[in-house]
Structure 1
Amino acid sequence: MSSNGKSTLYGDPNSKKPKGVEADSFPGPIKPIGKHGVSSGLSIGDPHTKKAKAETSVSSSSLTKPIGKTGPTIDTAKTGVSSSVRGKAAVSSDVGGKAIVPANVGEVMSFKDVKFRPHEGEVRFRLIHFWEARNVLTKMLIGLEMLLIDEEETVIQGFIPAARMENYLPHMKADGIYRLNNFFGSKNKTLYRVAEASVTITFSSTSALSVLEDSSVCYPDDRFRFHGYEEFDAACDLKGDLYDYVGHIKLVNGQVFNDSLVLDEAEIASTRRVFLHVQTHDGPVMKLYLWDKAASDFSEKFKASGRTASVNLVTTLNPKRFGGALALSSITPSRVFMDSDVQATRDYLTWLNSNLDAANRVDAVVVTKTETVTIGELFSYMKQAAAKVAWFEFIATIDDVVHGLGWYYIGCGGCHTKATKGPTTPMCKKCGKSDIVGVAQYLAKISVYDDSDQAFFVLLGDAGHELTGKKASELIESYFEANESVGDDHLVPVTQALIDTIGQTRKFIMKKGGAEEALKNLMVRG
């Protein structure tokens, strides 16, 4: 709504573009009208709007008052309305259109009143979160899913079909307060639900969404649904409702959580994963995998806290069991909060600071065990469409060491990252040093088998040392001492120490790996 009383309309299928105005050209945020009893929000997708002349204006006296109590006008900047769409300005406020609150608007409904049928009424809510819904196999965009909460703290899912997303998405922002007229109440999905309500608010061809600005109602920020170990364990692999978790961190990517912990940002960016061991109060320690955006959000929040954040809250987690052990996995709609982000983490942090003895009673390193599986079970897991990185333990016999390939690499003496060639000396990109001492590290490919299958493993670093009992640097040094005539670029043949392992049966612990790459970073036990 512009200050002269005209309304701004988005996504109207019946309106036409005024001459000289681009359809996606926005001059900036729309200012509220500044009068009580008149909603000056942005209307999005109103299908009843008719074409208006460019000179026609709607006086504020012709607008009906919004249903319910009125309050002070709220600036659009605080309601989360963006003044631009993908780098372009928003539709001009000079476009004529229908009033934000039409005279024939239905009554304001609560989420509890929404049924399985079309509704001409109005719902008002805070947009908690939204995310794209895509087909798991084809990755085709299905639509936009949303999590909404009304003034009664009822949380419900919302959905916008892909064909209608462009009408609304540019004007939506998480935490914004909105009103929606004309929608369809459809059945909520039974698999991977993120809200308890059995109905979903689906945007139809007649839906109109606008920013709610003149409301004295205080809409809740969120409502979490927490589960503990026993509840997650009971819901494991059932593909039912997805619940939230809050607790304190015990391990991060296998490292004990303390003030000296430094996250490997390069590794997180590469694997798109953070692996946590977490605990609620003095309950059992659980495995928690954060993927993609959840992983990067955790990394950023932990870094911003000065490496002091200890409480972790993650929403909509999928409980899965592999090798008999329970693990929680983040999915696309998951969100990450830490320490003082929300009231739930602040409350838990208060408990943690007052109950350090209880929190430290369980040693995550002691209770954390890897799953014992066969090579065949590993392959079966890796073939799953959603298979991610995990920890596994298995027993296998070495039947060959691959020749013709380099069985070692030159790494940084400090962090063991593969060194790069500098002008005169090796360099380390991770440490940021241009002059490092290069140290040979294992990079050997071996063939192993058990009663179920055969596989190739890549031994890195300490795993090779544990297998042979000798450091790669020692073996390389001995070779060049015995062969002084060869140059520095000479390809050292596979060392006898590795060949001697053929026929040995060992216990392997896989620390990393996934369906898209060979099994790597193995720990070897006798």
Structure 2
Amino acid sequence: MASSDVVLGHSTFDALRLGRSAQMIVGRLLRFWDSKNIKKQGEFMGITLLFLDEKNSVIHGFIPAGRAPFYRPSLRAGSVVRVSRFEVARCTNMYKITDHPFVIRFIPQTTIAEVIENAPVINVEKFMLRSFDPLQALANTNLELPDVVGQIQRVVVYLSLWDDAASMFRGLIGSGDRTQTVMVVTTVNPKLFGGNLYLNSTPATKFYFDNTLEAISEFTARLDGPVQEAFTCIDTKEGIRKKEVLSIGELNKFISNSNEQEAEFICKARVVDVLQQNGWSFVSCTGCSRKLDKDGSSLRCNRCVNPNITGVINHPYLRYRVELLVDDGQDNATFVVFDKEMLKLTKQDAAALTLNEINGGGGVELPQCLKDLGGQDFVFQIRVTPFNFTPNHRTFTVSAIVDTIVPETFKTNAAELVQVEGGEASATGSNMTGINMTGGEEKEPNPSNAGGKGGVRKRTRE
């Protein structure tokens, strides 16, 4: 990006015309981020940019993946730039990040240069802020990715952070002024789940604690009393990973209403039956524990075997894969339990169990110890993976089984919550933060939300 100290006649964002032409804009590059396609394993699509002009209008731009290496080295957030010879197109009706109806698309002829002198007076920041009621209306629609402002304290709106957003937030909390509890969080995806409002981070999510920003200073002025003092943030190498308690119906609802993201939940249910159509064990590779594939009359691990070497795995290993039909009194689902947890339940490995059944004349029927699981109640820890968001998903993977729900599992740190305008106070679960968006007095916790859900989770999202 070249620099320029001359500003020729340029269009304001509201005066832009559709199509390709010699139009030129001058604006502040507020921020930019990589956009990825989560349905194609996070495939890089391009760079999304936000511009602000002297009329306080915001428009977003897009640099396709093929042109990104050319522009990326010289993009600098906060700089005033001149962009010319681009295409103006209409925004889609989904995932809007500005109120402007148009988007600026970079084409091979597009140029961008930083304006050093004689630049128009442009504000430092502007946010697409939404309060509690509009956020609820937007939840589960995917129409907008709005910004929010609030104070970290006891609350009812859950801010779920993933991947880079989670790491960035932990870094800010760990190194910044911990008395600055009022913040702006940008470009979140609101979701309603289990009666609670969740604000899920996206790759575009940023955090602002600067109390000189108009959005923060105005919010702080509405607070009844001084800004709360220091808050804490639970941290691990993988982010905050507490588990949330869900019914089977809520688990299915999470899959239906959420974007593709990994999470873990706790679900109490009764085993109705042990399903047998797919068997209860499989032959695995001793190297990677994956299921072996048939190669003629032999078994082969296509992951571990060097493709330049022909051969088979000489020492396959029998492992559990048991499908349980479970019911929580209202809904049912199929939970799949693998080797580690089945070993705890049966007290013997799959190979030994098979041998005992054969020696005992049990034949190929379901072993008695597996039949005995029917009618028993367990607390299952369920791992939700990208597979569960595919149209063909039919099962949920069990990562752990316990006999009872440990109370400590659901204890929450009041400092991890975010109160949002109009919301009541409530406890959160895993990797979460809290915001008060009203600027008013904190409300009493809602008893019905005890052991509530939420967390700062980690997952790539566009």
- Provide TM-score, normalisation by structure 1: 0.50
Question: Does structure 2 retain, via aligned residues, the 8 Å contact 1:511–1:523?
Answer: no
Match for residue 18 of structure 2 among 116, 127, 151: 116
User: Which residue number corresponds to residue 361 of structure 2?
Assistant: none
User: Which residue number corresponds to residue 295 of structure 1?
Assistant: 166
- Cα RMSD (Å): 4.4
Deviation at 1:217, TM superposition (A): 2.9
User: Which residue number corresponds to residue 26 of structure 1?
Assistant: none
User: Which residue number corresponds to residue 247 of structure 2?
Assistant: 372
User: Which residue number corresponds to residue 164 of structure 1?
Assistant: 67
User: Which residue number corresponds to residue 3 of structure 2?
Assistant: 42
Deviation at 1:313, TM superposition (A): 2.4
CA distance in 1, matches of 2:380, 2:227: 32
**Number of aligned residues:** 314
Q: 1:448 to 1:121 in 2, by over 3 A?
A: closer
User: Which residue number corresponds to residue 313 of structure 1?
Assistant: 184
- Equivalent residue letter for 1:332: P
CA distance in 2, matches of 1:524, 1:337: 43
Match for residue 335 of structure 2 among 455, 458, 476: 455
1:420-447 per-residue CA deviation (whole Å, 9 max, x = no partner) reads xxxxxxxxxxxxxxxxxxxxxxxxx996
Question: Does structure 1 retain, via aligned residues, the 8 Å contact 2:140–2:257?
Answer: no
Deviation at 1:452, TM superposition (A): 2.4
Q: 1:326 to 1:217 in 2, by over 3 A?
A: same
1:231 and 2:111 are equivalent in the alignment? no
1:217 and 2:126 are equivalent in the alignment? no
- Equivalent residue letter for 2:205: S
Match for residue 248 of structure 1 among 151, 174, 179: 151
Question: Does structure 2 retain, via aligned residues, the 8 Å contact 1:145–1:159?
Answer: yes
- Equivalent residue letter for 2:77: A
Structure 2 SS opposite 1:316: coil
Ranges in structure 1 where 5+ consecutive residues have no aligned partner: 1-9, 11-40, 44-64, 68-104, 251-277, 280-284, 358-368, 404-444, 461-467, 469-497
Q: 1:149 to 1:385 in 2, by over 3 A?
A: closer
Deviation at 1:505, TM superposition (A): 5.2
CA distance in 2, matches of 1:153, 1:164: 28
User: Which residue number corresponds to residue 27 of structure 2?
Assistant: 125
Q: 1:233 to 1:373 in 2, by over 3 A?
A: farther
Question: Does structure 2 retain, via aligned residues, the 8 Å contact 1:458–1:522?
Answer: no
Q: 1:306 to 1:148 in 2, by over 3 A?
A: closer
- Provide TM-score, normalisation by structure 2: 0.56
Q: 1:150 to 1:165 in 2, by over 3 A?
A: same
Q: 1:395 to 1:227 in 2, by over 3 A?
A: farther
Structure 2 SS opposite 1:294: helix
Deviation at 1:521, TM superposition (A): 6.2
Matches within 5 A, 1:274-353: 279=155, 285-305=156-176, 307-338=178-209, 340=211, 342-349=213-220, 351-352=222-223
CA distance in 2, matches of 1:382, 1:334: 23
Question: Does structure 1 retain, via aligned residues, the 8 Å contact 2:191–2:257?
Answer: no
User: Which residue number corresponds to residue 102 of structure 1?
Assistant: none
Match for residue 261 of structure 2 among 383, 387, 392: 387
- Equivalent residue letter for 1:111: F
CA distance in 2, matches of 1:298, 1:376: 27
Whichever of the two has the greater Rg, that structure is 1
Deviation at 1:117, TM superposition (A): 2.2
Q: 1:391 to 1:321 in 2, by over 3 A?
A: farther
- Equivalent residue letter for 2:130: H
Q: 1:195 to 1:169 in 2, by over 3 A?
A: same
1:483-509 per-residue CA deviation (whole Å, 9 max, x = no partner) reads xxxxxxxxxxxxxxx99x955654747
Structure 1 SS opposite 2:188: strand
Question: Does structure 2 retain, via aligned residues, the 8 Å contact 1:42–1:210?
Answer: yes
Question: Does structure 1 retain, via aligned residues, the 8 Å contact 2:248–2:333?
Answer: no
Ranges in structure 2 where 5+ consecutive residues have no aligned partner: 229-243, 275-279, 282-321, 346-368, 388-395, 406-462
- Determine what percentage of the aligned residue pairs are the same residue: 21
Q: 1:248 to 1:508 in 2, by over 3 A?
A: farther
Q: Which gives a bigger RCO, structure 1 or 2 (Cα 8 Å, sep 6+)? A: 2
Matches within 5 A, 1:349-428: 349=220, 351-352=222-223, 354=225, 370-374=245-249, 377=252, 381=255, 386-389=260-263, 391=265, 393-397=267-271
Deviation at 1:171, TM superposition (A): 0.9
- Equivalent residue letter for 1:319: P
CA distance in 1, matches of 2:59, 2:402: 46
Deviation at 1:326, TM superposition (A): 2.8
CA distance in 2, matches of 1:508, 1:388: 20
1:284-322 per-residue CA deviation (whole Å, 9 max, x = no partner) reads x11221111111111001111365443342111111233
- Equivalent residue letter for 1:387: Q
User: Which residue number corresponds to residue 436 of structure 2?
Assistant: none
